[in-house]
Amino acid sequence: EVQLLESGGGLVQPGGSLRLSCAASGLTFNNYAMSWVRQAPGKGLEWVSDISGSGDRTNYADSVKGRFTISRDNSKNTLFLQMNSLTAEDTAVYYCTKSPRINGYLCHDNWGQGTLVTVSS
């Protein structure tokens, strides 16, 4: 059974940084792309970033480009999201997802339980 467990969320001041982690089990981790999707309180879902199985290709939403960095450590089955220059608009629950490539296109199947990031002074 695939399990994704996010950690690293918390309260951070505007302009601060945070690093999220997602520990994966029950899968051959380096066979799959992975993604981060976030959800602001009371709002809908927003794709944030994804990374290929080998880690050599990444994509970002315009809203986080230049501030967030996605990475992975395949030896530790762990996905990361380094978040810098945080603003109140980054306040959200952050989910990691397993993102299999179906006919050349990434989609989501398994989701973690999420970790809450609150940006506030």
Which one of the spans 8-16, 68-76, 78-86, 101-109 is the region binding other proteins (CB under 8 A)? Answer: 101-109
Q: Does 113 bind other proteins (CB under 8 A)?
A: yes
Task: Return left, alpha or beta for 3; rule: phi > 0 is left, psi -120 to 50 is alpha, else beta.
Answer: beta
* Of the residues 59, 71, 82, 91, which one makes contact with other proteins according to CB under 8 A: 59
Identify the CA nearest to 106 among candidates 117, 98, 115.
98
* Distance separating alpha carbons of residues 74 and 88, to the nearest angstrom: 32
Query: How far apart are CB 13 and other proteins at their closest, in Å?
Result: 26
Does the footprint of other proteins cover residue 46 (CB under 8 A)?
A: yes
- Burial of 23 (C-beta count, 10 Å sphere; 0-12/13-18/19+): middle
CB 109 within 8 A of CB 100: yes
The 80-99 site mask, x for binding other proteins (CB under 8 A), equals ---------------x----
Q: Binding mask 7-36 vs other proteins (x if CB under 8 A, - otherwise)?
A: ------------------------------
Question: Phi/psi at 60 (nearest 5 deg)?
Answer: -140, 150
58 binds other proteins (CB under 8 A): no
